[in-house]
Amino acid sequence: MNAKKILLLFVLLTGFAATKAIAASNVKITFRFKFINIEAGYDHISRMKVYVDGNLAGTSPEKKESELNTVVVEVSKGFHTIRAVVESLYEGNWEEHIAANDYSIDCLYERSMKYTKKNTNIIIDFDINVGTVIKKK
pLDDT band at 116 (very low <50, low <70, confident <90, very high): confident
Q: What is the largest CA-CA distance in the chain?
A: 73
Q: What is the DSSP string of 94-127?
A: EEE-SGGGT-SS--EEEEEEEE-SS-EEEEEEEE
Tell me what the mean pLDDT of segment 31-39 comes to.
Answer: 95
> How do residues 56-75 score in pLDDT, each as one tens digit?
999 999 999 999 999 999 99
CB count in 10 Å sphere of residue 24: 9
Distances (CA, A) of 49 to 3, 10, 37: 49, 40, 22
Backbone φ and ψ for 21, nearest 5 degrees, come out as: -65, -40
The whole-chain average pLDDT of the chain stands at 86
Distances (CA, A) of 9 to 1, 5, 18: 10, 6, 14
Q: Rounded CA gap, 77 and 81, in Å?
A: 12
Q: Rounded CA gap, 113 and 66, in Å?
A: 30
Q: Is the pLDDT of residue 21 over 80?
A: no
Tell me what the mean pLDDT of segment 89-108 comes to.
Answer: 93
The confidence score (pLDDT) of residue 135 equals 84
Q: Is the pLDDT of residue 19 over 90?
A: no
On whether the pTM is more than 0.85, the answer is: no
Q: Is the pLDDT of residue 83 over 80?
A: yes
Q: Is the pLDDT of residue 16 over 80?
A: no
